[in-house]
Amino acid sequence: YFTSDYDVYKLYMDGFYNHNYDGDVVRLKVATTGSYTQQSSGYSYASYGWTSEAETNNEDNTDHTYSRISGHQGQTATSTGCLELTIFDPMGSNVKNFIAHSVTNEGDITDNIITMSSVTWDSTTAITGLFIYFGSSTITCRKIRLYGIKN
């Protein structure tokens, strides 16, 4: 959860993969209020990705029901992804901004995807938590770390 003690947070996910579906992307929703109410609107994001096969891909979406924060990810423990998410001023009264960097592997370890994403949640409501998930399967992650940074 977030507190007013820190202005910026860094979230690290190491070794994540899908259980049931090869090629899904990691998604983000924010939670608000003490009951961790999941917010399902007002997300805007832009993603740009590069693959080890020299392909590029960009995607953007406004007023969406979630934010995409990774490239496509495989479904085996031998082809895991990693993610770094920066959360700016989650307890503040400004629109919420995030930056995500990820490396994922679609299907096998020879098809690496590097993705950079910028995310905005168009609300001035304080964020109390995050929901990070795949759209169609269970997420498994070796390690998740959250650090707060004071100004």
Count, in order, helices (H) and strands (E) of the chain.
0, 12
Q: Are residues 134 and 26 in contact, defined by beta-carbon separation less than 8 angstroms?
A: yes
Predicted confidence at residue 146, as pLDDT, reads: 94
Could you tell me if 17 and 74 are in contact, meaning their C-beta atoms sit under 8 angstroms apart?
yes
Per-residue pLDDT tens digits of the chain, which is 151 residues long:
788 889 999 999 888 877 665 557 778 888 887 667 788 888 888 887 777 666 666 667 777 788 877 766 666 666 677 888 899 999 888 888 888 888 776 655 556 777 788 888 888 888 888 888 877 767 778 899 999 998 7
- What does the pLDDT read at residue 114? 75
β-bridge partners, 127: none
* 3-state DSSP of 107-142: CCCCCEEEEEEEEEECCCCCCCEEEEEECCCCEECC
pTM: 0.82
